[in-house]
A and B are shown apart, each in its own frame.
Chain A
Amino acid sequence: MQSTRRDFIVGVFVVIGLGAIAYLSLQTGGVSYTGPRGFELVATFDEIGGLTARAPVVISGVKVGQVTDIVLDEDLRARVMLDVRDDLELSIDTSASIRTSGLLGNQFIALEPGGEIDMLVNGDDLDFTESALNLEALIGAFVHGSTEDD
């Protein structure tokens, strides 16, 4: 009698503990995202700034996927693999741009659907990309430009 009650309490304790581990793994660790994979797109950028793997991919501000891998291609440009939800219909002239949330926030990729009738399929390259905003280059150009005006 006493020991079955204790067994039950220990069982509850173990369930709570495993639940905490599961919450950390699934919710915050993002394991669930690697499970059902969407389709893969490839975007090539001249400059990715501080973009890292697992950065979000958004359309109109809604998260629809994430960056899975970043490699350097043979032309020394950055090839960024995107894993995007596969229930979306994106036209082939969809453009990808690297944006920053806030001034110092994390960088993410924003997709902007275009107007073509043909749709992107798994493994396609995005033809239109916009690189990360390089603050130093921008300030440099501004300073340089203003001295030229004088």
Chain B
Amino acid sequence: MSNPVSDLGRQTLGFVSALGNITRFGSDVVRNLFRPPPRIARTIEAIYDLGFLSLVLIATSGFAVGAVLGLQGYTTLVRFGAEQSLGAVVGLSLIRELGPVLTGLLVTGRAGSSVAAEIGAMVATEQLDGLRMMSVNPIHFVVLPKAVAMTLVMPLLSAIFIVCAIYGGYIVGVELLGLDGGAYIASLEDSVDFREDIVGSVLKAWIFGMIIGLISTHRGYTSAPNAAGVSRATTSTVVIGSVTILFSDYFITALWGV
């Protein structure tokens, strides 16, 4: 028997227990962080996979986003005769908002999905059970390096994205549209504040990194041990990860004003 009220109740319970599950999983990961031995080699491998291999995607996307911002910002600002402040518009919107958020979404799609698929496939082929049988904790050996790598990599990728985007905006604004290069850089430098904007940007990217690392490993770790389970884990990582990033972005901005 299903009626709308019990449907709602079941969904609420399911949501609460999913939140509880991921919180327990997260605290498990954090506990394993302080447990010897440190998995440095595996973390470096994960940084290579998640960070370095995302570099080209992040740099080109950043350049394209900056170019579009430069073009759109210019056509809007030129109506008010304020095209001199294009640098401030491009720089502030990138540093405060677009840089961390777009990098977060791109990394979710590029790296988060691959983490979920990899761990999901390990679940499906009983590799995690094999590790447990050799009394190796799979969270410590498989999950932790990837989660830590994601947390470390996100602020770096976000900063690279922003620098490439500022360059993209410069190319469009100065080289194509004929704005004064000095005015672009000067308005950027005058409007960006280190403590308010840069620290907030890095902090945001760092929190997004933790979110992506936690969600992607959790989805992979708890996936059903079959092919459909792996594909569901990948899909739900991208969906849940993206939505969580966008919502938490609102709350970080509202609470800390960055």
Q: Are A and B part of the same complex?
A: yes
- A20 & B48 in contact (Cβ 8 Å cutoff): no
- B192 & A20 in contact (Cβ 8 Å cutoff): no
Cα–Cα, bound, A56→B183 (Å): 13
Cα–Cα, bound, A10→B81 (Å): 46
B256 at the interface (CB under 8 A from A): no
Contact residue among B45, B155, B192 (Cβ-Cβ distance under 8 Å from A29): B192
Chain A residue numbers with a CB within 8 Å of B193 are 29-30, 54
- B190 & A13 in contact (Cβ 8 Å cutoff): no
Chain B contact residues, majority secondary structure: helix
0 or 1 for each of A90-131: is its CB under 8 Å from B? (1 = yes): 000000000001111110000000000000000000000000
Instruction: Tell me which of A1-9, A37-45, A135-143 binds B.
Output: A1-9
- B160 & A31 in contact (Cβ 8 Å cutoff): no
Asked, given contacts A7-B44, A9-B48, whether A20 binds B84 with beta carbons under 8 Å apart, the answer is no
Contact residue among B51, B81, B162, B190 (Cβ-Cβ distance under 8 Å from A54): B190
B157 at the interface (CB under 8 A from A): yes
Residue of B nearest to A5 (CB): B48
Instruction: Tell me which of B11-19, B195-203, B234-242, B244-252 binds A.
Output: B195-203
- A20 & B190 in contact (Cβ 8 Å cutoff): no
Cα–Cα, bound, A54→B188 (Å): 12
Chain A residue numbers with a CB within 8 Å of B5 are none
B222 at the interface (CB under 8 A from A): no
Chain A CB within 10 A, most for which of B55, B194, B197: B194
- A20 & B188 in contact (Cβ 8 Å cutoff): no
A18 at the interface (CB under 8 A from B): yes
Chain B residue numbers with a CB within 8 Å of A101 are 84
0 or 1 for each of A26-60: is its CB under 8 Å from B? (1 = yes): 01111100000000000000000000001110000
0 or 1 for each of B75-94: is its CB under 8 Å from A? (1 = yes): 00000111011000001000
Chain B residue numbers with a CB within 8 Å of A56 are 190
Asked, given contacts A10-B47, A104-B80, whether A20 binds B156 with beta carbons under 8 Å apart, the answer is yes
Cα–Cα, bound, A12→B47 (Å): 11
Residue of A nearest to B46 (CB): A10
Chain B residues within 8 Å of chain A by Cβ, number: 35
Contact residue among A12, A24, A102 (Cβ-Cβ distance under 8 Å from B198): A24
- A29 & B190 in contact (Cβ 8 Å cutoff): no
Q: Tell me the chain B residues, 16-66 only, with Cβ under 8 Å from chain A.
A: 41, 44-45, 47-48, 51-52, 55
A71 at the interface (CB under 8 A from B): no
Chain A: interface size category: 20 to 34
Chain B residue numbers with a CB within 8 Å of A10 are 44, 47-48, 51-52
- A102 & B44 in contact (Cβ 8 Å cutoff): no
Chain B CB within 10 A, most for which of A3, A10, A28, A105: A28
Cα–Cα, bound, A45→B228 (Å): 71
Chain B CB within 10 A, most for which of A18, A20, A55: A20
B150 at the interface (CB under 8 A from A): no
- A3 & B198 in contact (Cβ 8 Å cutoff): no
- B52 & A9 in contact (Cβ 8 Å cutoff): yes
Chain A residue numbers with a CB within 8 Å of B162 are 20, 24
B163 at the interface (CB under 8 A from A): yes
- A21 & B202 in contact (Cβ 8 Å cutoff): yes
- B52 & A24 in contact (Cβ 8 Å cutoff): no
Cα–Cα, bound, A148→B41 (Å): 84
Asked, given contacts A20-B162, A54-B190, A55-B190, whether A102 binds B84 with beta carbons under 8 Å apart, the answer is yes
Chain B residue numbers with a CB within 8 Å of A28 are 91, 95, 166, 188-189, 192, 198
What are 13 A-B interface contacts by the 8 Å CB criterion?
A10-B47, A12-B52, A17-B160, A20-B156, A21-B159, A24-B192, A25-B194, A27-B189, A28-B91, A28-B198, A29-B198, A55-B190, A101-B84
